Amino acid sequence: MAAPGKSPLYLRVRLPVQILALIAWNALFLFDLRAVTAPALNCWASPTASFACPMGALQNSMPALRATVLAPIYILGSIFLFCAIMGRSMCGWLCPFGLVQDLFGGIRRRPWRLPRWTGYFKYLVLISLGLVIPYLTFEPMFCKLCPQGALQGGIFQPLLDPELRQFIGTLYYVKLGILAAFILGSVFIRRPFCHSFCALGAIFSLFGRIGFIRIRYHREKCVDCLWCVRACPAGIDPRTDLQGMNCVSCMECAKCPFDAIKVGIAPACKRCAEDETAGEVEHG
């Protein structure tokens, strides 16, 4: 049995990586790569944004479908590339709003858990606010309501540019209300935005099981102590839902003191996969 706290170094640096990612996505004072999409939800309306937000870029490219009948290849291609390499680890390691929810989630020791079925709601958000409405109206509706956008751009832009204040309307306060609701909700519910409302997370979740990074559950080593369930920032049961639609692949469960959950690389061939997973249950 592995002693608690003796997990590999890469499993103990998630918070520093999250902070470094936040700095990298908002390092306009160092470099300007806003023509490149970041692999995380990071509003490019932020005064310091150094990368483009993939959801914002995707929505703003939707009108092009009417003229060319072609998908926005570059944006979708970059998203697929991220997912092929990392699965949904971007949500657990690189997303600024994921970091915000984790920090507020640490206030309450025993948060509530949303039912698994509520995770399907994020796909409705993706289809309606992220794709259909932008296509029909040319309006990036998900961005207009995104709490991350309110936190990064909605609050700071009017403070830095007083001329923008004359354009503030009802939707602005609705967006701030949504932000406040999710921050407050994060104190009581683990990552509520990621679980049920994030359109980008909905896209990433479709590829959570095909990335190179895999998280495996070894049933024969598990003693059902529920350590992983209590540790999970996403509020899921890692024994049954690893890399499923609600898993953010943060790998916190891989710190299991009984080594029942491990992180590995996807086998290169089917035969290797059969040999590697012999005697274990893989949810990846």
Contacts of 95 (CB under 8 A, 6+ apart): 18, 21, 40, 41, 42, 194
Q: Which of 40, 27, 16, 34 is nearest to 94 (CA)?
A: 40
Helix (H, G, I), strand (E, B) or coil at 249: coil
Considering Cα of 9, then 192, then 157, then 204, what sign does the dihedral take?
positive
Contacts of 81 (CB under 8 A, 6+ apart): none
* Residue 24 pLDDT exceeds 50: yes
Q: How far is CA 78 from the centre of its chain?
A: 15
1-10, 61-70, 158-167: which is most confident? 158-167
Residue 99 contacts residue 22 (beta carbons within 8 Å): yes
Considering Cα of 147, then 149, then 155, then 158, what sign does the dihedral take?
negative
* Residue 281 pLDDT exceeds 60: no
| Greater pLDDT, 189 or 75 | 189
Could you tell me if residue 3 is left (phi over 0), alpha (psi between -120 and 50 degrees) or otherwise beta?
A: beta
Residue 168's φ and ψ, nearest 5 degrees, are -70, 130
Show me where the domains of the chain are located.
Answer: 10-205, 212-282
Residue 246 contacts residue 236 (beta carbons within 8 Å): yes
Q: Using one digit for the tens of pLDDT, what is the confidence trace for 27-85?
A: 988 889 988 889 999 998 889 999 999 999 999 888 777 666 565 677 888 888 888 88
Place of tokens 């390691």: 93
- 69, 81, 212, 223, 265 from 84: Cα distances, Å: 25, 5, 7, 32, 12
What pLDDT score was predicted for residue 133?
94
Residue 149's φ and ψ, nearest 5 degrees, are -65, -40
Residue 117 contacts residue 198 (beta carbons within 8 Å): no
212-282: CATH, from 3.30.930, 3.30.70, 3.40.50, 2.40.50:
3.30.70
- DSSP assignment of 142-191, as one string? HHHH-HHHIIIIITHHHHH-GGGGGG--HHHHHHHHHHHHHHHHHHHBSS
Q: Using one digit for the tens of pLDDT, what is the confidence trace for 235-250?
A: 999 999 887 899 999 9
Report the share of the chain in percent with pLDDT over 70. 89
